[in-house]
Amino acid sequence: MSTVDKHDAGLSLEAGGGADPAPDDRPFPPLAASEDTGSEGERPGAILQALNRLETIVAVHTEWLKNWHLEVLSGISAHRPTRITPPRLELPEWVDHPVLRNHPEHAAVARTLETLQRQSEAIADAVRRTGAIPTAEYGAFMNNVLAFASAVRHLQNDTWNQLANVDPLTGLGNRRAMWRKLRIECERQARNRHPCCLAMLDLDLFKEVNDRLGHAAGDAVLRSVAAMLTESVRPYDTAFRFGGDEFLLCLPSADLRAAWAIIERLRLKAANWLIRLKDSEEVSTTISVGIAPMEAETGVETALERADAALYSAKRHGRNRVCVWNASLR
């Protein structure tokens, strides 16, 4: 039977805490992790290669559209026949990379491309019928040529940014994203004095999973736990992969009582969480967690050190438990 260390004097088991955090720093939407995340096809290098290919295609499409349009206009002014049938503009399947496909900007690129296709067909039809292109259609077409390139740039820039801030295996924020988030929360705590807690989480006996079932199974466990963390915490909490089989949760507007209640529910859920592997085998794991408050006076580094000390205490006292930091754990 698992136990919970409540080192903090007077710690209640009731949830509590301050007001919800301001909405100006909600967690950024992660790159979607899938069963194949972390495989050769979804490593950062493969994603960047797909982005480079997409950039080339956009340049070719944009240049062709401009030249085709100028050819139509030139043919009209010279009263000579011109090629007025536009090509079918499509993105090759190999650009439809899973990570890019799951990004909101990918849909914007596809929509703009479809709009350009319709407009080019309408222009071709107008030339065939009247020998002229209405001014409004000309302006709309050229605006969307620019919008197409702009949508792709936004997709590229945001994907580059996320690749720098997202753990490719789990889809959670990496340490770089974690430091940015924690510093923001620490500054907010200094301004409004709302509490904020950190929870350092470690999978119990994870090495045995790797040794017995292999690293692919270990990766599947990490992905599953990451998904559980994301779906189990509050909307404004943020989970990060700290490294290896360690995760960090940032819990804004949660004092120690509220943080303990959140994490204890998470611990119970993890203990009953069955992870199905590709060969239909099921594995389970438990978690040990250390909780510490993050205070403006002591800073982010101290809060992390305290959460880590509390986690070490939870491990030392038998695993599958939650330990709250106190001064005796220095």
| Mean pLDDT calculated for residue range 211-230 | 90
Domain 44-165 has CATH 1.20.120: yes
How far is 101 from 310, CA to CA, in rounded Å?
41
The answer for residues whose C-beta is within 8 angstroms of residue 194's C-beta and 6 or more apart is 18, 19, 21, 188, 252, 253
Burial class (CB in 10 A: 0-12, 13-18, 19+), 167: buried
Q: Choose the weakest-confidence range: 88-92, 303-307, 322-326.
A: 88-92
Predicted model pTM? 0.64
Indicate the SS3 state at residue 240.
strand
pLDDT at 94 > cutoff 60: no
- Mean pLDDT of the chain, nearest integer: 77
> Higher-confidence residue: 288 or 82?
288
Q: What is the DSSP letter of 276?
A: E
Is the fold of 23-30+172-329 the same as that of 44-165?
A: no
Tell the burial category of 121 from Cβ atoms under 10 Å away from its Cβ (0-12, 13-18, 19+): middle
Q: Which residue has the higher pLDDT, 275 or 89?
A: 275
Rounded to 10 deg, the angle between the 299-316 and 175-192 helix axes is 110
Closest residue by Cα to residue 159 from 199, 106, 221: 106
Measured in residues, the chain has a length of 330
Fold of the 23-30+172-329 domain: Alpha-Beta Plaits (3.30.70)
* Weakest-pLDDT range from 59-63, 94-98, 299-303: 94-98
pLDDT digits (tens, 9 = 90+) for 130-188: 777 777 877 888 888 788 778 878 877 877 777 788 888 888 999 999 999 999 999 99
Helix (H, G, I), strand (E, B) or coil at 278: coil
Distances in whole angstroms, Cα of residue 59 to Cα of each of 62, 91, 142, 148, 153: 5, 12, 15, 10, 11
Q: Of the ranges 18-32, 205-219, 266-280, which one carries the lowest mean pLDDT score?
A: 18-32
Closest C-alpha among 20, 13, 15 to residue 252: 20
Distance of CA 174 to the CA centre of its chain: 10
Residue 24 three-state SS: helix
* Model pLDDT, residue 250: 97
What is the domain partition of the chain in residue ranges?
A: 23-30+172-329, 44-165
Per-residue confidence (pLDDT) for residue 278, from 0 to 100: 77
- Residues 6+ positions from 248 with CB-CB distance below 8 Å: 178, 198, 199, 200, 201, 239, 240, 242, 304, 307
What is the mean predicted confidence (pLDDT) over 211-223?
Answer: 89
182 and 173 in contact (C-beta within 8 Å)?
no
